[in-house]
Each structure stands twice: as C-alpha cells, then as structure tokens.
Structure 1
Amino acid sequence: MASATVRRISECFVKPDLPPDAKQPIYFTPFELIYLNANYSQKGLLFAKPSPPESHHFSITTFLEDLRRSLSATLTHFYPLAARLATRKEENPPSYVIYIDPENSPGVKFAHATVDITVSDILTSTDVTELLDGIFIGGSVNHLIADGTSFWHFMAAWSEIFRSKQQDEYSISRPPIFKKWVLEGSDPVINLPFTHHNQFIDRPDQQAMFQERFFHFSSAIVSRLKAKANAESNTHKISSLQAVSALLWRCITRVRGLTRESETVCKLVISNRCRLNPPLSDDYFGNPIQSVSGTATVEDLMTRGLGWAALQLHEAVANHDDTAVKKWVESWFRSPVVYKRSQLFHPNVVHFGSSPRFDMYGCEFGLGKAVAARSGYMNKADGKMTMYPGQEGGGSMDVEVCLLPEYMMDLECDEEFIIALKSN
C-alpha cells in the first residue's frame, strides 16, 4: 500500500445544461457560512469489478463514458455542484457577500486514475479510481454547498440516472429543492461584517499525525448496546446511534488518560431539516447542520455508565428543537462568526460526523452493491469519528475512528470496547 502510486489517466470538466431559472446567485444561510473554513467533504463507494463470465463484456472505457454522461444529466438537476463560489466586497459599510455563481464555472472535474492495489488492500488498510479488481467512485464537495444528506441525495440521483432505461429523459424521483430557508424578517443576502478577508479566512496549517481504523458494529451488537443503554437509564428513548456514540465517547476518553476533573465533550453533527417548524424536506439541498454536545467530567463519564452517557447525548438532541435553532440564528445575526478549524476540534472532544442512516449502499452503478463506503483525508483529526451504515444493512454500523497512534493502540486493548464488539 505504501509504495502504490496513483496514475492519473485522464480528466475533463463536465457541465450541466442549466435550466432557465438556474443562473441567479444562490446565497448562503448562517448554518452554512459558519463552515466557510471547513475542508471539502470527500466520500465514495468501493465496487468490485465484474468476475467471469460477466467480465468478458465489461469495458472500462464504456463504463467511464456512461458515468460521464449520467453525471452531466444529474448535474442538470443539481447544478449548484457545478458552480463556483464568488465574493462581493461591499464598501459602505465594509462587508463581504459570499454566494454561489452558477454561470462562472467550467463545470465539475471528472478524473480517471488507476492504482495497483486490490479491493482487499482497501478493506484491510486503515475520484474514480480503478483498482486491479475494483473501482472506487468518489466525490469531493465544498461543505458550504452540501451536507451529507444532500451529498447522498445527489449520489442516489446519479445512480438512478446511470441505471435508467429511459436515457434520453433523465428524470429523477426526488428533485432537489434549492429555495433557501430564511429566518422570518431577515434578509436572504447576508453581509459578513469584516473589513479584510484575513479576519474570517483560516489558512490550513500542518495537521497532527493520527491513525484511522474502521470498526464494525453488527446489528446484534448495536441492538445489545441500545438495550443496555436504555436499561441503565430506565428509558426507551435512546437510539442506536446515541448508544454507539456513548460507548466510543467513554472508551476514547479513558484511553486519553485525562484527569478525573477534566471536562470532556461529545459532539454530534445533526441536520436541522426535521427540527424546524415547519420542517424542511429531506430533498432540501444545502448544509443546514449544527452540532449538539454532551458534556461531562471524566469522573462522571467513567463512573455513571453507558446509559448515563447515552442519555446526555439523547437530551442534547431532544433539546435542539425549532426554538433552539431559531434562537441560535438570531444570536448569529447579532454577532456573525465564521468558525476557525481550531474551533472544530479539541483534545478533549470526540466528534461524530456523517450518519449510518444515509442510504449509501443504495447507490449502484451497474456493478452490484458496493463492498464498502470510504472517506478522504479532509476534516479529520484526533477524536473525529465518521459514521456509516454497515454493508449488510439491518441496523449495522461502521465507524471510522481517527486517533493519535498511542490512543488507537490503547483503544484496541480497552476492555469495555473489546467486550462490546464481541459478536456473542
């Protein structure tokens, strides 16, 4: 793996046919502007190449052309993905307006690369890339433009068009909704009150070295953790996701060796779509996300059990309702802020992103069901967890854990973690 060299075979730009109403600027909401400094979201699916006798009829050239054609058709529906960010500087008062410009863009870069590794190498190791026996179809999108819900909505539509028998119609079952949510009484065009871009642009610095590992939670393991968390907290409200997150929060805090009086935080990235009143559709395209947090001293987290930890997360999610969301937006308008990268991660934080509820494995491109979902190196740091559905479904989960090497070694030996991952 270390010696494998990626060879870029070709690249081109794919442009959509813009509909008549798709040439106006698209402005951002406070939910999105705070993430101006976040790195691109990088996600993708790993597929096995056809095996004999089907492989005799498989042509990578034809496959790539079908991908490119269907991508162009999909971008006609999801045209902001083919756009570029633009900035307008205002003089009176001094401010910046950042928006999406659908017309000023060469399109989406479509790259084909190869690397001499196998599907097994990817699965056992911690862009459209062709492997010796597989194909990885991945995408990279600015986090201002789309969250995980919108990214996998796009991937599902691309898959739908790729597999469509009516290739000249290019219709999709779930058209995206681009009309932005706006707080009642506020201006949809937001002026960031800064006099110089250095006041809100955070240049990337050298990231600390960390290790990545995938841990699989079967449906039986997830069910057992959920039942344990609910029984310990005498409730039935704790979800599977909250139970698994609480386990990792406890185990990672333990291996970090923090003092017992230290404060530790577990952050969950959640969508505001269903929390607003009236709610937004899952087809709403954008990045309407926020983080909610469970906070505890190390002593409380270690002594009060899994159920108590999971209940802190449940209450943080339950309290994030329409009132809380709108209160935050009103506060942001009074004092606009753009997060710096240093504010997104902290040594005492365990941070969960993505979701096992995304239908990643429903996205197929004529190669059968993907064998794995993976992410790129962006937006990762010590303590960052990325959640995926398990490939076999049934409520199973995969969690990509990023930790400093010494913490990862201890996590793999942590007694609570080992017991939890036992299949029986």
Structure 2
Amino acid sequence: MKVNIGRSRLIKPIYQDNHPPKSHCIPLSVFDRVTYNQHLAVIYAYRPPTPPNITLELGLRTALGVYPEWAGRLGKDSNGNPIILLNGEGIRFVESSVDCALDKAIIFKPSSSLLRLHPSLEDVVELVQVQITRFTCGSMVVGFTAHHLVADGNSTSSFLVAWGQASRGLEISPLPFRDRTIFNPRNPPKFEFEHKGVEYVTKNLKQVYPLINCNVDNIMVHKVHYSVDFLSNLKAKTSPTYGNNNKTFSTFESIVAHLWRAINRARGLNGYETTRVRMSVDGRARLNPKVPNEYFGNLVLWAFASAKVNDLLTNPLPYAASLLHEAVVKINDNYFKSFIDFANHKVNEEDLVPNTTADTQESILWPNLEVDSWLRFPFYDLDFGKGGPHIFMPSFFPTEGMIFLVPSFIGDGSIDVFVPLFQQSLTIFKQICYSLD
C-alpha cells in the first residue's frame, strides 16, 4: 500500500476564552512521570460519506482550545522538574491519500503497513499528531498519535470524543478536570507498600532473559476475535468454585487468565520459570475521595500477578483468574497514596527511574506479559458527523508479549485481542487460542 503524503503542517488551538500566557506551564504529576515516555498510535477507519478535512481541522483546533496541553510542548522548569509548557505551538496535521479502495488496502490485519497511516512516533516534539488518509472509495482513515506523558487512555479517548463533538458543531461536554496538583503526599508520609522494583527501579538496572533464536524481526502480531458465545463459555469455565471461595470473575479476568496460560504454553517455557502479567489499574474510582472521571492526565498504576509456569498450566483456569483478581484488588486507595508518598520523597533521594517495561527500546517482554485493556474507553464514540468508525484498532506495535484488548467493531460485545509473539510461538498459539481444555 503506497500512501501519498500531501500537506503536513502545524495547526493551533482556537480558544473560546482568553488563551493561557505562553509562559504558563503545568507540572507533570507523579502519575505522569511514571508512565511511558513515548507516543502511542491508534487507527480509525470510516466508510463514506465522510466530512471534508477542513471540518476535521476546525473541530480539532476547537478541541485543542479546551485541551491546550496537547498543543504545548514538554520541557523542564527552572528546578529541572518536567512540565507541559502551554505555548500553543500546535500539533502536526497531515493530509494523505491512497490510490485504491479501503477494502483493497488490507489494513484490517495488524501489519507494518499501518505505520504509513500515521506520522512517525520517533523524535517527535508535537504532543499530538493526526494523519487523514483518503481512499478512492470515499473512505477515510484517521491515524492519531499522542504522547503518553500527557494523558492516559481514559483522558485521550475523552479528547477524541471532544474532537468529534466540536467537528459536529456541538458544545464539548463534559469538560476536562485539569488540576494536576491534587496528588499531595501525606504528612508524615507512609510507605505502606514496596514501590522500589515495582513502579521504580535503580538507574541502569535491567533484567535480561536469555533467548534462543528470538530475533526481534521474528515478532508477529496476530488478531484473535473472541465471540460473545466464546466469552460466555470462557466465563463459565473460569468461575466455578476455586479453593474455598465461590468467586465469579470478570470478563477481563477470564480472558487474561486464558491468554496467560495459552501464550505460555505456546512459548514452551520451562515449567519452573516464573511468568508475570502486568495490568493497568485506573485510580480515579479507587482513590478516596474519588477523582472525577473527567480528570485529564495520567492516573494509572499497575497490578502484577505472577506464577510458576508449571503451576499455571497444571492448575485449572480459575487458579490463573484468582491470581489476576487478587493482584488488582491490592491496588486500592492505600496503595495509590503510598505510591504518592514514595514518589514525592524517595525517587530523587534514591536516584530511581520509572520501571516502564514496554517503551520503544524494549521489544521483548518474555517470559512476561503486559495487558492494556481498552474495553471501557469510549474510542468508538469518535463521530465527526457521519457516524462512528467502521474500525478502531491500535497501530502496529510489535513488542513481544504486549497485548491489547479492544471491543470488536462488530459492536455485539465481542472482543478483539492483538497478540505479538515470536513466529514459532505464534504458530502454536493459533492452534490453541480458542481451546478451553
């Protein structure tokens, strides 16, 4: 698929009220600082009729007036602390075209061709980039990239919804809650949990796993579609009484438990090796008092579940689900507040750095997994006036073991899972990914 790049330019916010002074800045919170220092990209596809580019541009500029952080730049204050400078320099807006119909472009499967549908993620100063690609059939693809230090998935999806509202001439609602100074440490601080080695690690400390014939170029991304019937059967299989507890596990816990076992079986790991799953946990509803869902920024920590491979594969499915459930439950109000205290008092003192396991320099998570669930985010609500997207998906992100869960575009409650594995592991995974034995 050849993508013809047309105009590429910076577009700036349209402010409804007085715009912030160019010298104004917002300090990054402790949750912003601990997340991925990189751009992430998503892909939208729309069937005709689609609005003209000028409509999308004006809507985007209006939304940026409400979310001026995206039009700013990352920097440091006079004390060397990371900030977002609200200088209004703008975001990258690219117009492009493809000389074929959307159905002929084969963008529905995860492959490196998706990288041509959004601007590069490397060495980018703009905090948001948008590429609008037109196809001969009248279809349109929107490639969107956003810097994770500015906002998490919840906030980014809210901004996208706002872009759609503004493009339709509607008032943006709800408005973002933008105060990043609310996460104050306690006095005296209480370090109730271990955060060193979890969210933070000592500089230059990196665990290396010996791999045989595992070249990064051999990583393939496979999309698995789990139907509503499969998910229902999976939950029934996952939730029978385990141990002394009659526990019903969530769809998320059930599907991750299933994937954890299937992927490690496909990897052929040593039975005595420890495998770990990292899952993001939103703190908005877990902190007391609760933080508004409209909070704009990052407010995520991670839960870790671990097991010996042999225990994971020989025990029934509820065993894996219970490990996941117990790990997530532990990330409660006390844990979030302990992290806030630790990040404010210990990180600089002990010269620690974020333990973000899947940045652009890390392509292999073996023998571990990371699961990013987008099941509750309103990504599908991005409507420019002609209806919602035909397809929504992450861009091509071949980090072995980094899994994305996305609601299927079918809209019936089914789920698509994007699974990057080494080619030799993927062959086995495809054979067992639907097996509930």
Q: TM-score, normalised by structure 2?
A: 0.80
Is the CA contact 1:33–1:338 (under 8 Å) kept in the aligned structure 2?
A: no
- Give the partner amino acid of 1:338: V
Residue 75 (structure 2) aligns with? 86
Partner secondary structure for residue 43 of structure 1: strand
- Give the partner amino acid of 1:412: K
Partner secondary structure for residue 231 of structure 1: coil
- Give the partner amino acid of 1:156: V
The answer to which of 25-34 and 234-243 deviates more is: 234-243
**Runs of 4+ with >4 A deviation:** 206-209, 340-345
Is the CA contact 2:185–2:340 (under 8 Å) kept in the aligned structure 1?
A: no
Is the CA contact 1:14–1:72 (under 8 Å) kept in the aligned structure 2?
A: yes
What percent identity do the matched residue pairs reach?
25
How far has the Cα of 1:36 moved from its partner?
5.2
Superposed, 1:247-286 pairs within 5 Å as 247-286=258-297
Superposed, 1:221-370 pairs within 5 Å as 221-233=230-242, 235-333=246-344, 334-336=346-348, 337-339=352-354, 346-370=365-389
Residue 146 (structure 1) aligns with? 151
Partner secondary structure for residue 239 of structure 2: helix
Distance 1:358 1:217 in 2: 19
Is the CA contact 1:273–1:281 (under 8 Å) kept in the aligned structure 2?
A: yes
Is the CA contact 2:235–2:249 (under 8 Å) kept in the aligned structure 1?
A: yes
- Give the partner amino acid of 1:159: G
Partner secondary structure for residue 406 of structure 2: strand
Partner secondary structure for residue 41 of structure 1: strand
Distance 2:82 2:241 in 1: 48
- Give the partner amino acid of 1:16: P
- Give the partner amino acid of 1:12: R
Residue 194 (structure 1) aligns with? none
Distance 2:392 2:358 in 1: 28
Distance 1:69 1:81 in 2: 15
How far has the Cα of 1:289 moved from its partner?
1.1
Distance 2:109 2:343 in 1: 44
Q: Which runs of 5+ in 1 are unaligned?
A: 51-57, 91-95, 165-169, 187-198
Partner secondary structure for residue 410 of structure 2: coil
Partner secondary structure for residue 351 of structure 1: strand
Partner secondary structure for residue 412 of structure 1: helix
Is the CA contact 2:35–2:356 (under 8 Å) kept in the aligned structure 1?
A: no
Residue 210 (structure 1) aligns with? 219
The yes-or-no answer on 1:66 pairing with 2:58 is no
Residue 118 (structure 2) aligns with? none
Is the CA contact 1:266–1:294 (under 8 Å) kept in the aligned structure 2?
A: yes
Residue 102 (structure 2) aligns with? 119
Q: Deviations over 1:188-235 (max 9, x none)?
A: xxxxxxxxxxx79x9xxx965411121111222222212221115353
Q: Which runs of 5+ in 2 are unaligned?
A: 112-130, 188-202, 207-214
Is the CA contact 1:360–1:389 (under 8 Å) kept in the aligned structure 2?
A: no
- Give the partner amino acid of 2:4: R
Distance 2:262 2:155 in 1: 31
Aligned residue pairs total: 377
- Give the partner amino acid of 1:357: R
Residue 183 (structure 1) aligns with? 184
How far has the Cα of 1:259 moved from its partner?
0.7
How far has the Cα of 1:291 moved from its partner?
1.4
Change (3 A) 1:296 1:340: closer
Is the CA contact 2:7–2:94 (under 8 Å) kept in the aligned structure 1?
A: yes
Q: TM-score, normalised by structure 1?
A: 0.82
Q: Deviations over 1:103-157 (max 9, x none)?
A: 1x42011111122454331124542222333211121111010111011101111
- Give the partner amino acid of 2:85: D
Superposed CA RMSD: 2.4
Distance 1:260 1:185 in 2: 43
Give the number of the structure whose residues are more often helix, by fraction.
Answer: 1
The yes-or-no answer on 1:410 pairing with 2:428 is yes
Residue 115 (structure 2) aligns with? none
Partner secondary structure for residue 395 of structure 1: coil
Residue 13 (structure 2) aligns with? 16
Distance 1:342 1:312 in 2: 20
Partner secondary structure for residue 77 of structure 2: strand
